[in-house]
Amino acid sequence: MHLRVINPNTTSAMTAKIGEAARRVGAPGTRISATQPDSGPVSIESHFDEAISAVGVLEEVLTGEREDVDAYVIACFGDPGLMAARELTRAPVIGIAEAAFHMATLISTRFSIVTTLGRTGIIAEHLLENYGFRHHCRRVRAAEIPVLDLEENGSVAMSRIIDECRRARDEDSIGAIVLGCGGMADLTGAIANEVGLPVIEGVTAAVKLAEAVVGLGLGTSKYGDLAFPRPKAFTGRFERLSGLAPSR
């Protein structure tokens, strides 16, 4: 099985970290490749960032289709471009927020999310509503750290995340914590040891869910709204997408 983990931002150190986390939990026989777009934001912290990054995600999926990738993981907690990516392939496409929410409900009845910035916490609230997990989540908390601090100022960022996770444990009446950023992919073990609760991180959760879906012989339905996009003309910078047809 070839599983492609797509980091929607363009920070190569984060892509490498995400890839390492994915490979640590991948089953024997699963080949994991970690990629990122050629252009786009260095971090994703707003609706605008997500919109720009979604184009890069879709380009990575189109590339993967030419390489017979068996499943994709979108490794940003906003799940940018998720539904559009599912339109482009029969392979499973798993967003890390949706994966983390599912995993948290399998081991607890209530969870809280600890993310980077307050504004991205609002985006997480939108996803909880859209995915049907709002009643499972007690609170969305922000450590108020920029995403790139996870790469550039790791010890300070880690301390603030742990402090917020402790507050979630003590104040929210929860059974688990979901980490709300792909850049936290390497932090679950250390945080769980500090707070004494199960900690779910979306990259690793998505890898295991993707393996399960492929193992069951399932793929993205091509009936209804996730059918392949109708071929049509595009203009300007997207002219190369004119007449787009599925490769498999």
Give the model confidence (pLDDT) of 83-116 as tens digits: 999 999 999 999 999 999 999 999 999 999 999 9
As a whole number, mean pLDDT of residues 140-160 equals 87
Q: What angle do helix axes 154-171 and 188-195 make, rounded to 10 degrees? A: 40
Helix (H, G, I), strand (E, B) or coil at 121: helix
**In this model, does residue 234 exceed pLDDT 70?**
yes
Query: CA triplet 116, 26, 127: central angle to 5 degrees?
Result: 35
Least confident of 126-130, 148-152, 216-220: 148-152
Please state, rounded to an integer, the average pLDDT across all residues of the chain: 95
**Residues paired with residue 180 on neighbouring β-strands, in sequence order:** 115
For 23-91, the DSSP string reads: HHHPPTT-EEEEE--SSS-SS--SHHHHHHHHHHHHHHHHHHHHTT--EEEE-STT-TTHHHHHHT-SS
Q: Work out whether the CA dihedral 112, 118, 124, 129 comes out positive or negative.
A: positive
Residue 247, pLDDT score: 66
**In this model, does residue 248 exceed pLDDT 90?**
no
Residue 153, pLDDT score: 64
pLDDT > 70: percent of the chain: 98
Instruction: Name the strand (E) or helix (H) holding 176.
Output: strand 176-180
149 falls in which pLDDT band (50, 70, 90)? Answer: confident
Given a contact cutoff of 8 angstroms between Cβ atoms, the answer to whether 245 and 231 are in contact is yes
Residue 178, pLDDT score: 98
Half-sphere exposure of 230 (CA within 13 A, CB side): 3
Question: Per residue in 157-208, pLDDT tens?
Answer: 899 999 999 999 999 999 999 999 999 999 999 999 999 999 999 999 999 9
Q: Give residues with Cβ within 8 angstroms of 9, minimum separation 6.
A: 36, 37, 40, 41, 42, 43, 44, 49, 53, 76, 147
pLDDT > 90: percent of the chain: 92
Q: Which domains does the chain have, with CATH numbers?
A: 2-95+205-241 (3.40.50.12500), 97-202 (3.40.50.12500)
Residue 156, pLDDT score: 85
150 falls in which pLDDT band (50, 70, 90)? Answer: confident
Question: Per residue in 110-136, pLDDT tens?
Answer: 999 999 999 999 999 999 999 999 999
**In this model, does residue 246 exceed pLDDT 80?**
no
Beta strands in 62-166 (DSSP E): 71-74, 93-95, 111-115, 137-142
